[in-house]
């Protein structure tokens, strides 16, 4: 039996695709082994979101070759799309597979090993118009699964290479999504997280005005699924109809990750983001009008080209005004091939570091405040895994707002309710009065 090892770099969409590729290999008779082991085939699902991601992708490909010089090394994904010609010249790599072609992995491997070619499958991704059908039949996380429903992006933010690596928006058929989720639920899955490269665009390529909302409403009816969660959203999708409809669904989790990137309108213009801070704040207010204590999380870039001290202070003030549950902070990384990389007034690394630190400190304080709200209030948690806290053993999981909670008793992959009594330094809520949910 041939052995295969896989490694993923990058986002949740990449992770889903790697899991689907792994299941292809297993169906084809391969034994899956840890990446450090000697394997016959190594598959690296690459990332190209930053120059650092490019470097990590190359490092993992070279590491695979060192693990077994005689193995077949496969480079797949976004870095392949961005650096196809370079990879074709790289003797480390035997097979290159671009995006929208990962479903051909087994076929390409068979052809390559039979000496019939099979060394390349890379589309002109900018002209890809159909969604590549991939699905998983089980998930490594028994409680929660990320379900890819969309690919591509039409936004062309000035700092981002992804539209060039993933192509234009393409949506998965709703029936296919529902069948996959129903199959996973039959195997015990409790929570489905919908994800995509630009999730808010789901259905737009088919002129569906409310494609994402309609899909969530249909998932509400899938037997066995207890929770439905959404991945990252653009602010424009938040309308009164959208949030009110979601608030009427018992399985929907009020956890909204709304990309911000900057709290300064001038910086947003340079980023080619299609909203103002005023519009963004209105969306947050709409969410809070429909849900009691919704989790609103975001991403912020520190030190974007041209960001002055005054602009950074505007971002800091806006973030305080919104009061996010969690905020992922990134120092701006100059990405070759993007408009922002050519901009003048690049911010010095020391300045980016200082601004990033201030945002991270603020994010920590806001996050702890959001968590403290639950102390003394009953909350429902989907238990996932054992943890140790304060020298004791607990079972931990997340409530609907994605706050991590822990109980002294319970069973994995079950819903339990209880009252948080204390908050640990690392943000874990310790709960009492546990009771199973019917």
CA distance 6 to 61: 11
Beta bridge partners of 432: 419
The length of the chain in residues reads 438
As a whole number of Å, the CA-based R_g of the chain is 22
Q: What is the pLDDT of residues 177-204, one digit of tens each?
A: 999 999 999 999 999 999 999 999 999 9
CA distance 423 to 430: 6
CA distance 23 to 138: 9
Average pLDDT over residues 3-15: 95
Percent of the chain's residues with pLDDT above 70 = 99
Query: Are 165 and 78 contacting, i.e. CB atoms less than 8 angstroms apart?
Result: yes
CA distance 13 to 88: 25
Q: What is the pLDDT of residue 398?
A: 97
Angle between helices 277-290 and 240-247 (to 10 degrees): 30
Query: Are 314 and 263 contacting, i.e. CB atoms less than 8 angstroms apart?
Result: yes
Dihedral angle over CA of 238, 242, 243, 249, nearest 10: -150
Query: Are 45 and 7 contacting, i.e. CB atoms less than 8 angstroms apart?
Result: yes
Q: What is the pLDDT of residue 209?
A: 85
Residue 164 clears pLDDT 90, i.e. is over it: yes
Percent of the chain's residues with pLDDT above 90 = 84
Q: What is the pLDDT of residue 85?
A: 86
Average pLDDT over residues 372-384: 96
pTM: 0.94
Q: What is the DSSP letter of 381?
A: E
| Residue 118's pLDDT band (cuts 50, 70, 90) | low
Average pLDDT over residues 205-220: 94
Q: Which of 42-51, 79-88, 226-235, 243-252 has the lowest mean pLDDT?
A: 79-88
Q: What is the pLDDT of residue 122?
A: 86
Query: Are 259 and 232 contacting, i.e. CB atoms less than 8 angstroms apart?
Result: yes
Helix (H) or strand (E) holding 31: strand 31-32
The mean predicted confidence, pLDDT, of the chain is 94
Going from the C-alpha of 337 to that of each of 84, 160, 162, 272, 423, the distances in angstroms are 14, 9, 11, 15, 45
Query: Are 9 and 57 contacting, i.e. CB atoms less than 8 angstroms apart?
Result: yes
Angle between helices 174-186 and 211-219 (to 10 degrees): 30
CA distance 356 to 351: 8
Q: What is the pLDDT of residue 117?
A: 67
Q: What is the pLDDT of residue 438?
A: 59
| Residue 243's pLDDT band (cuts 50, 70, 90) | very high
Comparing CA positions, the residue from 109, 133, 130 lying closest to residue 121 is: 109
Structure-model confidence comparison of residues 296 and 412, the more confident one: 296
Q: What is the DSSP letter of 89?
A: H
Q: What is the pLDDT of residues 71-117, one digit of tens each?
A: 999 999 999 999 988 888 888 999 999 999 999 999 999 988 887 66
């Amino acid at each position: 039996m041939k052995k295969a090892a896989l490694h993923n770099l990058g986002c949740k969409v990449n992770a889903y695709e790697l899991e689907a590729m792994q299941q292809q290999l297993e169906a084809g008779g391969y034994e899956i082994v840890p990446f450090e082991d000697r394997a016959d085939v190594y598959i690296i699902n690459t990332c190209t979101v930053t120059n650092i991601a490019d470097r990590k992708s190359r490092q993992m490909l070279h590491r695979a070759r060192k693990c077994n010089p005689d193995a077949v090394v496969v480079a797949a994904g976004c870095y392949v799309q961005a650096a196809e010609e370079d990879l074709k010249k790289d003797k480390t790599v035997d097979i290159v597979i671009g995006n929208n072609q990962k479903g051909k992995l087994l076929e390409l491997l068979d052809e390559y090993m039979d000496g019939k070619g099979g060394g390349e499958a890379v589309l002109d991704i900018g002209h890809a118009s159909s969604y590549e059908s991939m699905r998983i039949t089980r998930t490594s996380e028994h409680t929660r699964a990320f379900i890819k429903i969309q690919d591509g992006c039409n936004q062309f933010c000035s700092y981002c290479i992804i539209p060039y690596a993933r192509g234009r928006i393409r949506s998965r058929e709703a029936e296919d999504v529902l069948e996959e989720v129903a199959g996973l639920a039959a195997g015990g899955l409790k929570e489905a997280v919908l994800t995509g490269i630009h999730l808010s665009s789901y259905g737009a390529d088919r002129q569906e005005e409310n494609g994402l909302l309609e899909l969530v409403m249909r998932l509400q009816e899938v037997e066995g699924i207890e929770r439905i969660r959404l991945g990252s959203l653009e602010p424009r999708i938040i309308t009164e109809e959208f949030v009110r409809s979601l608030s009427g669904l018992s399985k929907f989790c009020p956890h909204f990750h709304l990309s911000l990137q900057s709290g300064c309108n001038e910086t947003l213009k340079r980023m080619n983001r299609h909203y103002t801070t005023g519009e963004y704040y209105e969306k947050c207010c709409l969410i809070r009008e429909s849900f009691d204590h919704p989790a609103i999380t975001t991403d912020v870039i520190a030190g974007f080209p041209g960001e002055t001290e005054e602009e950074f202070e505007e971002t800091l003030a806006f973030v305080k005004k919104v009061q996010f549950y969690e905020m992922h902070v990134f120092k701006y990384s100059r990405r070759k091939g993007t408009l922002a990389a050519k901009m003048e007034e690049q911010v010095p690394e020391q300045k980016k570091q200082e601004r990033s630190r201030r945002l991270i400190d603020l994010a920590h304080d806001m996050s702890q405040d959001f968590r403290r709200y639950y102390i003394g209030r009953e909350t429902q948690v989907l238990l996932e895994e054992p943890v140790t806290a304060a020298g004791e053993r607990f079972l931990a999981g997340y409530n609907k707002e994605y706050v991590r909670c822990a109980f002294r008793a319970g069973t994995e992959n079950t819903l339990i309710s209880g009252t948080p009594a204390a908050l640990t330094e690392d943000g874990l809520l310790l709960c009492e009065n546990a009771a199973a949910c019917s």
